[in-house]
Chains A and B, each alone.
Chain A
Amino acid sequence: MHKDFKLGKEDIHILKGIDLDIEQGEMVALLGPSGSGKSTFLNVLGGLVPPTSGDIMIRDYRISDMTENELCLFRREHLGFIFQSYNLISTMTAMENVALALTFAGVKKEIRQQRAQEALEVVGLVDRMGHKPSELSGGQQQRVSIARALVNHPEIILADEPTGNLDSKTSADIMEMITRLNREEKQTFVIVTHDPDTTKYCTKVIHMCDGLIEAEVNQ
């Protein structure tokens, strides 16, 4: 994968020329202070915002050239998202939240429920699948959102501060789970974080500052 782009918003250059390759199966941490452009980088990577210039290639797909609808379909097939604030739909149960991603992919209801249940099993929340987000703890909600990211079996999962709202014990649980998924499912993870503790689970750490890559450390 090759990416090279700038993003300008009101002529403020947030990303000032990033060139980065990520191999399949890697677990990459994007580390940096706030304002360093790491979240923006992740959003551009996920096709949520277009780059001002440059290309993003994921496998053979040039996602920087895709229309919004193509991006939606691409995300549905290839990408999973995990957010700091979980972003679950509050009126739906854990099971429904996880199954929602499959609804848009046109999967039949029985298969949807079966796969949602499997995904919740992976994150260890099968016994809570009938609960709404408000009835779950922060760690549990984040596990539901991980299950949602997994349910399509995407090749790449993009996580924006997945442990940002969690205490250190729960954070460790979540990171261990992500590490296990990375090893077992061979999924590529790109994790934005400002917490150095998180980086110790990753195979590669990219230090970002002021819209540029400062250092790229394999570990």
Chain B
Amino acid sequence: MKFRTILTIIGVVIGTASIIVMVSIGNGAQKSITDELSGIGSVTTLQVYQDLSSMGMTAMGGGKTDDKAILNDDAIKDLKKIDGVVAVTPVVNLSGGEIEVDREQYGVSLMGVDYAVLEDMRYVTTSGKKPGANDENSVILGKDVLTSFTYTGASTQLEASEVKPEDLIGQNITMTIKRTNANGEEEIKTQKLKVTGVLEATGGNEDYSIIADYHLVTDLNEWQTGRKANVKKQGYSQALVTVEDSSVVNDVTSEVEAMKFTVFSMQQILDSMGSVFQMLQILLGGIGGVALLVACIGIVNTMTMSIYERTKEIGIMKVIGASISDIRNMFIAESTMIGLIGGLVGIVISLVLSVLINLIAGLFIGGEGGVTISYITPGLVVFALFFSALVGLLSGVRPAIKAANLSSLDAIRSE
């Protein structure tokens, strides 16, 4: 093989490898984020909100209560009737609690759900078990409850506790909540909670919360605020809807939206992120594509040079019976081979690069089980191979037609 041809192939190798590596980085980002988000089955859980104002935007003028759907117990029942819904629970939150474990204070939030449907929800305990429907004072700990913001003197920082949530299973913990009464004095209430299990990571609020029965949490809330909750009129701030599987998520979402509630699901995030990542990949692939475009010009140049050099040879072939298409196909095959070989080598190199990128990133970022920065899918490999061969083929067309149309007599006379 000619040195010139080898250089041209190297051009294609660089072009192909840059496309693959660029797109693989886009893939890697998408994969690690979607894995993080969807790995835990929370895809099948929809968060339903009364409307946007319940997310802390009450201040934006209040006159719209008339046609507002209220997320009360009637609404919960209606939600349950939707096809594909397995369980619906209101969510009542309580923040500002503190627990003491091993002489350390931990700030905690309670997330109250309906224990009657706890069994049907996608909550999985890594150890211990879920409380039964009547275990009103039993709780499940989020996996990061004790890892969360710990108070160490004046500063707040993220610090893992020596005590693991699992160690507390079967034990009673005492939670204290405070309120300021009408006289400006601080009052303290304690509540004993029995830990029955630890929740598998969900990637959501649950990880940093204690799951409790919503009746209990409602009672504690009423004590803390000093007001009786009027669920019927004001509704719950949030409900969790568990659906059969991910295929019905979109249908259920639109039905819930038709009931004038705000729905938030991991599926929506994944869907919208999918298009963002597609854009990212096209962008990255385009950057890589510039290198392949340059390689393409290289192929045209090499083929043109090769035809100049082999004019006599082409003439001889035509005189001894090669047809126009024989000559044309010969040169197109040659440039396609350049593309194909370049593509193959490029794929091998980018596979190696991908492993290296992940290794090096792993050294800097750390984390167990390696890091996925670059992720090469089989589809990407097939696409790259096909694309590089196509680039080779297209680059060869013009020079090949030129070669095929050479006059055989002029060609054979050239030196």
Contact = CB atoms under 8 A, between A and B. Distances in A.
Residue of B316, B318, B412 with highest tally of chain A CB at under 10 A: B316
A48 interface: yes
A69 B317 CA distance: 13
Interface string A64-77: 00001100110111
B140 to A, nearest CB: 75
B312 interface: yes
A161 to B, nearest CB: 13
Interface residues of B, number: 17
Interface of B, secondary structure class, is: helix
Interface residues of A, number: 22
A101 interface: yes
Nearest to A40: B409
B59 interface: no
Interface in A77-117: 77, 81, 83, 87-89, 100-101, 104-105
A73 B321 contact: yes
A104 to B, nearest CB: 5
A81 B317 CA distance: 11
Given A89-B313, A104-B323, A72 B412 contact: no
Contacts of A148: 320
B409 A72 contact: no
Nearest to A67: B324
B176 interface: no
Given A83-B412, A87-B412, A101 B324 contact: no
A140 interface: no
Contact of B321 (A49, A68, A152): A152
A69 B324 contact: yes
B246 interface: no
B408 interface: yes
Interface in B321-350: 321-326
Residue of B324, B408, B412 with highest tally of chain A CB at under 10 A: B408
Interface in B392-415: 408-409, 412
A72 B312 contact: no
B409 A43 contact: yes
Nearest to B408: A48
A109 to B, nearest CB: 16
Given A48-B319, A48-B408, A87-B412, A72 B313 contact: no
Nearest to A72: B323
B324 A75 contact: no
A100 B323 CA distance: 13
A87 B317 CA distance: 10
B321 A104 contact: yes
B320 A104 contact: yes
Nearest to B319: A81
Given A87-B312, A89-B313, A104-B326, A81 B409 contact: no
Interface of A: 43, 46, 48-49, 68-69, 72-73, 75-77, 81, 83, 87-89, 100-101, 104-105, 148, 152
Given A43-B409, A72-B322, A87-B315, 13 more contacts: A49-B409, A69-B324, A72-B326, A73-B321, A73-B323, A75-B320, A76-B323, A81-B319, A81-B320, A87-B316, A89-B316, A101-B321, A104-B323
22 contacts: A43-B409, A48-B409, A49-B409, A68-B324, A69-B325, A72-B322, A73-B323, A75-B320, A76-B321, A81-B319, A83-B412, A87-B316, A88-B316, A89-B316, A89-B317, A101-B320, A104-B317, A104-B320, A104-B322, A104-B323, A104-B326, A148-B320
